Amino acid sequence: MSLSVIVLTALVAMPWWADSGWIRWAVELSCYIAIAQMWNLLAGYAGLVSVGQQAFIGAAGYALFILCQKFGVNPFLAVPLALIVPALLSVPTYLLLYRLDGPYFAIGTWVVAEAVRLLTTNLDYVNAGAGLTLRVMAQYRLHEREIAMTMLSGILLLVTVGGSYWLLRSRHGLALTAMRDNPVSAGSQGVNVSRLRFFVFVAAAVGTGFAGAIYYMAQLRITPASGYDPKWASISIFIVMIGGIGSIEGAIIGGLIYFFPDRFFSQYGASYMVVLGCLTLFMAIYARGGIWGLVASRFDAPWFPVGRRLALPAAGERKPS
Amino acid sequence: MSLGEQTSSMTGNPLLSVQGLGKAFGALRVIQDISFDVREGEVLGILGPNGAGKTTLFNLISGDLATNTGEVCLSGERLTNEPPYIRCRRGIGRTYQIPKPYGGMTTFENLLVTAMFGAKLDEDAAHRSCAAILRECGLADKANRRAGSLTLLDRKRLELARALAGDPKLLLLDEIAGGLTDQESGELVDLIRRIRDRGITVLWIEHVLHALLAVADRIIVLNFGQKIADGHPQAVITDPDVRRIYMGIEA
């Protein structure tokens, strides 16, 4: 926990000790970790395997650009306002898809994301396929922008990673963890699985949208092809599968593993993607719990302890772990 | 066969009422027009050959499966269209024939889920209740072990303990004694007696006859989704039809 505070403080202080290239990397890495953490909540805990989270990334990104460029809202105030759009989009999406199971649900989320992308591509109001540019950012000096971006990234990690930790330590986290391990059993033991799934779907849409808004604010430009790019789904799946599904630590480890090789090897294009795919496949077959699963099976030292223990032998007392 | 007269002598109000229950998977009718009542404090055994529809009957009562026809009522309250979590909160606790623990959680946490969401206890009360149940079921020393690492026998104990954590009025036990030694099944029978003595009604599917007969007040027998016998345990197991169908003994 103390390490988390140090990392967050270092991140927010980056404009005073790091150069612009490092700050850009830190903002992007924060976005990847946040998106993966939200996908982990969805797929790892609620059992909702979505390949359409890009719908919320693009929707929040576009909402931010529209608020700033069309309505003149301060861009940093527009970020929280933009989150209303993925929240609103997630409700009908869930109501449309929640009866679908497993792969059918996954395909449904992809179809919704594609439909939103096509809709955006054909909307003249948002400059159709050509996309939008965040010109209002030009009014701020680079240093001011960097302060704002690192602050927003810090808040993003606090909300997504810290929020996941808070959720999983709560009584609802107990139910979510039970759902992760056996949703049928959880339902027969009093857990309202449908309601929790709905809550997680909406929360993940908002968290994912938050990351999307920050990511495209840093890029200063959004198009339907980039904002609704299915690569966001591939990245989320890779990060969580490699890091360890069903754990907060896994999404962080996977995010780091994805991000740094991506900086250096993405120039190899398709070959690099094939290697990433093979690595995901290897982990899915031989280490389904990912890297964190391998670590946790040997050492009982979680970075984010969410379990509850019974104090022994004085049964009846409790000692939070 | 009708052994219903013998059940009419039982005292107590019906806790569970199952009327005209039916379930089909496509053309296969797994449960056909089954009706019975279970009185408060009763231990009702369910017998039948494999594929008779016993576990499906449990799934219909617990809400894991939706019924095609018929009604399920608990304490006079209609639960037929309620989801499993509501039925659990109304007082139906169940175990699974193939244990379904939350493998990544500890034994203690497995019980906590049911205590906090099924019995709706606050966390402190749930801790106390679960600790007591773990001791009663012989799992206290494994409270902080991951449920996924438990042996099959301990997983079966965990199923029972978890169901009890929901403070049930009606407990559905699905082949909980399978694979136990004589001594272990004796301990289980003692535990079920204690559970019954606390006023919990028990519906028990079991192939370990001596364990079931040691505690059951009444037995019903299913075959091909139909109820073929219902009555006092001794009367049921000596019935020629039951002996032929269930035990393969010709009269």
User: What is the DSSP track for A59-84?
Assistant: HHHHHHHHHHHTT---HHHHHHHHTH
Q: Give me the pLDDT at residue B180, please.
A: 82
- Select from B85, B102, B124 the Cβ nearest to the Cβ of A182: B102
Of the partner residues B102, B116, B127, the one whose CB lies closest to the CB of residue A185: B102
- Indicate if the pLDDT at residue A163 is higher than 60: yes
For residue A190, give Cα distances in angstroms to A176, A224, B98, B195: 12, 43, 19, 20
Nearest to A60 by CA among A215, A223, A202, A212: A212
Q: Residue B203 phi/psi, 5° resolution?
A: -120, 120
* Per-residue pLDDT reduced to its tens digit, A178-203: 999 999 999 999 999 999 999 999 99
- Could you identify the residue written with the tokens 């959880």? A186
Eight-state DSSP code of residue A161:
I
In this predicted structure, the answer to whether residue A10 has a pLDDT above a threshold of 90 is yes
Closest-CA distance, A293 to chain B, in angstroms, reads 11
Q: Are B111 and B161 in contact (CB under 8 A)?
A: yes
Tens-digit pLDDT profile for residues A119-146: 999 999 998 889 999 999 889 999 999 9
Domain for residue A240, yes or no?
no
pLDDT tens figures, B13-55: 799 999 999 999 999 999 999 999 999 999 999 999 998 999 9
The stretches of chain A forming alpha helices (DSSP H) are 2-12, 20-39, 54-69, 75-82, 84-97, 102-121, 142-157, 163-169, 171-181, 183-188, 193-219, 224-227, 231-243, 248-265, 270-286, 290-298
Say what the pLDDT of residue B251 is: 60
State the average pLDDT for chain B: 90
The ipTM of this complex is 0.88
- Residue of A301, A103, A137 lying closest to A222 (CA atoms): A137
Chain A residues in contact with B110 by the CB 8 A cut-off are: 178
Query: Is residue A20 one of the residues assigned to a domain?
Result: yes
Distance from CA of A159 to the nearest CA of B (A): 25
A180-to-A43, A183, B12 alpha-carbon distances in Å: 9, 7, 41
Whether residues B102 and A175 touch (CB distance < 8 A) is answered with no
Task: Look at chain A and report how many structural domains it folds into.
Answer: 1
Closest CA in chain A for residue B104: A181
Residue B123: list chain A partners with CB under 8 A: 171
Per-position b or e across A39-56, b if 16+ CB within 10 A of its CB = bbbbbbbbbbbbbbbbbb
Q: Does residue A321 lie within any of the structural domains?
A: no
Q: Does residue A144 sit within a domain?
A: yes
CA–CA min distance B1, chain A (Å): 34
Tell me the Ramachandran region of residue B232: left when phi exceeds 0, alpha when psi lies from -120 to 50, beta otherwise.
Answer: beta
Q: Which chain A residues are closer than 8 Å to B89 by Cβ?
A: 190
In tens, the pLDDT along A243-281 reads 999 999 999 999 999 988 888 887 787 888 888 888 888
Neighbours of A99 (CB within 10 A): 9
Closest approach of A249 to chain B, Cα-based (Å): 15
Residues of A in contact with B63 (CB under 8 A): 188
**Would A90 be classed as within a structural domain?**
yes
pLDDT at position B7, please? Answer: 43
Chain A's closest residue to B132, CA to CA, is: A316
The mean-pLDDT minimum among A32-46, A122-136, A169-183, B175-189 falls in B175-189
Cβ separation of A308 and B112 shorter than 8 Å?
A: yes
From A175, A177, A188, residue closest to B64, measured CB to CB:
A188
Average pLDDT, chain A: 91
CA dist., res. A213 & res. A218, Å (int):
9
- Tell whether A178 is within 8 A of chain B (Cβ): yes
Q: How confident is the model at residue B1 (pLDDT cuts 50, 70, 90)?
A: very low
Residue A218 lies in a domain: yes
Q: Give residue ranges of B with CB < 8 Å to any A CB.
A: 62-64, 83-85, 87-89, 94, 96, 100-106, 108-110, 112-114, 116-120, 123-124, 127-128, 130-132, 134-135, 140-141, 143-144, 162, 166
- Window 186-245 of A, Cβ < 8 Å to B: 186-194
CA B225 to chain centre: 17
Contacts of B88 in chain A (CB under 8 A): 188-190
List Cβ neighbours of B15 (8 Å cut-off, separation of 6 or more): B38, B39, B40, B42, B74, B75, B169, B170, B201
Whether residue A62 lies inside any domain: the answer is: yes
Q: What residues of A are in contact with residue B94 (Cβ under 8 Å)?
A: 188
Identify from A169, A179, A184, A185 which residue to disrupt to test chain B contact, counting B C-beta atoms within 10 A and taking the largest count.
A185
| Cβ contact, residue pair A315, B108, below 8 Å | no
Q: How confident is the model at residue B133, as a pLDDT?
A: 95
Taking CA–CA distances from B120, the nearest residue in chain A reads A190
Q: Please report residues of A whose CB lies closer than 8 A to that of B116.
A: 171, 174-175, 190
Tokens of B248: 């393969």
Which tokens hold the place of B27? 């053309």
Optimal mutation site among A45, A177, A188, interface B, most CBs of chain B within 10 A:
A188
Nearest CB to A192 within list B85, B100, B114: B85
If you average pLDDT over residues B174-200, what whole number do you get?
A: 88
Find the domain containing A128 and state its range: 2-229
Q: Do B113 and A308 touch (CB under 8 A)?
A: no
| pLDDT for res B11 | 54
Using the Cβ of A309 and the Cβ atoms of chain B, whether some distance falls under 8 Å is answered with yes
Question: Do the domain assignments include residue A117?
Answer: yes
Residues of A in contact with B164 (CB under 8 A): none
Q: What is the pLDDT of residue B8?
A: 39
Chain A residues lying within 8 Å of B99, measured CB to CB: none
Residue A288 at interface with chain B, using a CB cutoff of 8 Å: no
